[in-house]
Amino acid sequence: MAAHTTRLRFPPGRLHPPMRDPFTVAKAVRTCARLSGCRVRLGIGLGWMADEFELLGHPFEGYAPRATR
Q: pLDDT band for position 12 (50/70/90)?
A: low
> Is the confidence at residue 2, as pLDDT, over 80?
no
- Rounded-to-integer distance, Cα 14 and Cα 43, Å: 5
| Domain boundaries defined on the chain | 2-67
CB atoms within 10 A of CB 40: 19
Residues, the chain, total? 69
pLDDT, one tens digit per residue, over 40-65 is 888 777 777 888 888 888 888 776 77
Helix, strand, or coil here: 13?
A: coil
pTM over the 0.85 mark: no
- Rounded-to-integer distance, Cα 60 and Cα 26, Å: 24
